[in-house]
Amino acid sequence: MLELRLVQGSLLKKVLEAIKELVTDANFDCSATGFSLQAMDSSHVALVALLLRSEGFEHYRCDRNLSMGMNLNNVSKMLRCAGNDDIITLKADDGSDTVTFMFESPNQDKIADFEMKLMDIDSEHLGIPEAEYHAIVKMPSAEFARICKDLSSIGDTVVISVTKEGVKFSTRGDIGNANIVCRQNTTVDKPEEATIIEMQEPVSLTFALRYMNSFTKATPLSNTVTISLSSELPVVVEYKVADMGYIRFYLAPKIED
Amino acid sequence: THVQLSITEFYRST
């Protein structure tokens, strides 16, 4: 028996909007730790890891570990029927091939049940070891989204370079090239507007902008984004999900031929 | 020109 009640149901709506472009089908895993997902895009270039810790739910009952295969487009269709202020409860019985999404309006005057068919998904689970990153950039998520969008009108790839000067996003294309430098800036009114660069050593990596732009679908979840870079590892682009967890996007770099 | 690496080249199956 599974029963997860999330008072801030809009978080789940935003999570689905953040990942459904990148991943078509995925297994949602429930355990005592929380509600999680790990999935790769169809070309195995990017990976998304979601964790919503059990403590973040108003009610969290998961009698035994359960893996539920879902088509994310269909989940998104279901969740779009929930109001932004609705409380969302996920329910599944042991051995059932369906999951039920229950939506309650804040004043309890409307209660809706949406039952969705589960599917068998044969997905590969990857072990991601803890890593030391050469540079970690924390910046406003809207700023990062703007940079990715702007650069993708010029080129297909972005070079992200971190030096003592700041973090530089560069691209080049048929019509020309572009460089955007963001310097560390902690003298702002609100902490979420700060750009903070922790650098152990300079790093420069090249990535496909198409994936970066897809990751920025998570922007409504968090005012800030954290970008972790190491010269021999995929970049990690992380958005916090309130104080209950995170969405991490891993993207493999492009290398010189 | 650049070659796109795969994420599975970095992380092992569990």
pLDDT over 90, % of chain A: 94
Alpha carbon of residue A94 to chain centroid: 28
Q: Find the residue in B nearest to A257 (Cα).
A: B2
Is residue A123's pLDDT more than 90? Answer: no
Interface touch A252/B9, C-beta < 8 Å: yes
Q: What pLDDT score was predicted for residue A187?
A: 87
The pLDDT tens digits for A104-117 are 999 999 999 999 99
Q: What is the mean pLDDT of chain A?
A: 96
Mean pLDDT over residues A181-187, rounded?
94
pLDDT level of residue A124 (50, 70, 90 thresholds)? confident
Mean pLDDT on B1-14: 92
pLDDT band at A25 (very low <50, low <70, confident <90, very high): very high
Query: What does the H/E/C string look like for chain A?
Result: CEEEEECCCHHHHHHHHHHCCCCCEEEEEECCCEEEEEEECCCCCEEEEEEEEHHHCCEEEECCCEEEEEEHHHHHHHHCCCCCCCEEEEEECCCCCEEEEEEECCCCCCEEEEEEECCCCCCCCEECCCCCCCEEEEEEHHHHHHHHHHHHCCCCEEEEEEECCEEEEEEEECCEEEEEEECCECCCCCHHHCEEEEECCCEEEEEEHHHHHHHHHHHHHCCEEEEEECCCCCEEEEEEECCCEEEEEEECCEEEC
Can you give the pLDDT at residue A157? Answer: 97
**What residues of chain A have any CB closer than 8 angstroms to a CB in chain B?**
40, 43-47, 124-129, 157, 206, 208, 233-234, 250-257
Distance from CA of A250 to the nearest CA of B (A): 8
> What integer pLDDT is reported at residue A95 of this predicted model?
85
In this model, does residue A101 exceed pLDDT 90?
yes
Residue A232: pLDDT band by 50, 70, 90 thresholds? confident
**B1 confidence band (pLDDT: 50, 70, 90):** confident
Measured between beta carbons, which residues in chain A are less than 8 angstroms from residue B2? 157, 206, 254-257
Residue A85: predicted pLDDT: 97
Residue-wise pLDDT for A84-99, tens only, equals 999 999 999 988 999 9
Look at residue A205 in the predicted model and tell me its pLDDT. Answer: 97
**Does the distance separating the beta carbons of B14 and A157 come in below 8 Å?**
no
Q: Report CB contact under 8 Å: A157, B2.
A: yes
Q: Do B7 and A250 touch (CB under 8 A)?
A: yes
